[in-house]
Amino acid sequence: MHPMMAEFIKDNRAVYERWPSSGKVFLPKGRVPEAGEVFVQSDLGRTLQYLADEERKTARRKGRRAGLKAARDAFYKGDIARAVTRFIGKEGGLMRYEDFAGFRVSFEPTVRTRFDGIELHACGPWSQGPVLPMTLNILKGYDLKSLGHNSPEYIHVVTEALKLAFADRHHHFGDPRFIQVPITGLMSDRYAQHRRSFISMEKAWPGMPPAGDPDALTQLKHRCVPASQPEDAPGPGDTSYVCVIDRHGNAFSATPSDGSDKTPIIPGVGILCSGRGTQSWADPAHPCSVAPGKRPRLTPNPALALKNGHVYMPFGSPGGDVQCQAMLQVFLNINTFGMDVQTAVEAPRFATYSYPGSFEPHPYYPGRLYLESRIEKAAGDELASRRHKVYWWDESTWLAGSVCAIVADRKHGVLHGGADLRRPAYVLGW
């Protein structure tokens, strides 16, 4: 049990106590686990062992591929699926065994761009993944290095580019199986140039800028924008991230994430069903409105960069709507400002909240810009003079994301890992 998790359980104790199955796991013996204490999830352990056993006994006879299918079938068609859907039905939920048994993961194309000779791949518009490459496309038109790292000019330009990308996220992104997402147009250099024209070096957009039509190159009227919340503090975004490069040069970048406090633990199974439905919208006019079989527009969005056709840099972060922003800054720290990966992830950050948030009730903070207090006070004053609503975080805060990354140095045959100190995060090599 690490300190951050213990603190989270403490702060959300009443939520865990709502469900006896969750209270049994997260409040053993009726109390919050202490940091350093061994944290036991026995039902989950048995479930994982069951899947491993199903894989192993089938693989012995039919090979590894058949073994993996056996493990998958044990989850989606076997005892686990029945236990989960039986519990959901008992609690009045809508998911049934047939929903589990009929589910398939599909392979989908990445969204990609090139930036200074680097090919960046991100997840598609069923997530917020395209925000990162879209922002980089806008920033191609600036000499970021000459602006100076974390100078007022640099923070202003990056923030305004992010706001433009978030405006398009709000208006266009959603599950492509249900809506038409003009992703080719959104990712075009022609559209990036058009969006760049909306950035003024003298003043910030007071709220979320208008979204754009990538075909007609016109502004679009906002839809489904909630009332602003000028006084409240934005809530944290919590997620997990992991990346790996193996000895053969294969790379893995993933953001496997669900909160443990949103839905109950399934008794006897030790897992919980995703609470990511809170990232859908109840308004049917919104592109990611809730509908049967429709994916929420997820915040988790791992990225993978290639250089000269080879794996170069898998990276990602927790942080809800801050994920893309933290990832962007680390990417630029390394590839524009020449920092080593650990210095890049530790460097002070900033984040805008000038858009409707991804989590219900989708809070909106027009013009709000947070800066870690290691950024010069004079920079904050200058940004305020450009009409940003400047707020200050502590010197280093978990609210600014926690980027992990690997940079592959093919010339010297070295993998450089960076793990963010803002949350529990580690680099391992063997």
Mean pLDDT of 252-257: 94
Mean pLDDT of 134-142: 97
Please say whether the beta carbons of 201 and 154 come within 8 A: no
pLDDT at 172 over 90: yes
**Domain annotation for the chain: domains and CATH numbers:** 3-101 (no CATH), 108-430 (3.60.20.40)
Cα distances (Å, whole numbers) of residue 429 to 243, 289, 314, 342, 418: 12, 43, 15, 15, 12
In the structure, what pLDDT confidence band is assigned to residue 315 with cuts at 50, 70 and 90? very high
Helix (H), strand (E) at residue 53: helix 42-62
Strand 310-316 versus strand 368-371 pairing type: unpaired
The terminus-to-terminus CA distance of the chain in angstroms comes to 24
Please say whether the beta carbons of 123 and 175 come within 8 A: no
**Mean pLDDT, the chain, integer:** 95
Using CA atoms of 165, 169, 175, 177 in order, give the dihedral in degrees to the nearest 10. Answer: -60
pLDDT at 273 over 90: no
- At 259 the pLDDT is 85
Q: Which residues pair with 121 in a beta bridge?
A: 112, 304
| Residue spans of alpha helices (H) in 104-176 | 131-139, 144-147, 152-172
Mean pLDDT of 188-213: 97
Please say whether the beta carbons of 80 and 74 come within 8 A: yes
Mean pLDDT of 389-398: 96
Please say whether the beta carbons of 305 and 253 come within 8 A: no
Interhelix angle 42-62/64-76, rounded to 10 degrees, is 140
Q: What angle do CA 315, 351, 253 make, to 5 degrees?
A: 10
State the Cα–Cα distance between residues 214 and 23, nearest whole angstrom.
49
**Would you list the DSSP string of 279-302?**
GSBS-TTSTTB--TTPPP-BS---
Tens digits of residue pLDDT in 65-111: 999 999 999 999 999 999 999 999 999 999 999 999 999 988 999 99
Q: Which residues pair with 316 in a beta bridge?
A: 404
**Token digits for 76?**
């989606």
Length of the chain in terms of residues written: 430
The answer to whether the bond into 361 is cis (omega within 30° of 0) is yes
Tens digits of residue pLDDT in 319-358: 999 999 999 999 999 999 999 999 999 999 999 999 999 9
**Would you list the DSSP string of 239-286?**
---EEEE-TTS-EEEE-----TTSSPBPTTT--B---GGGGSBS-TTS
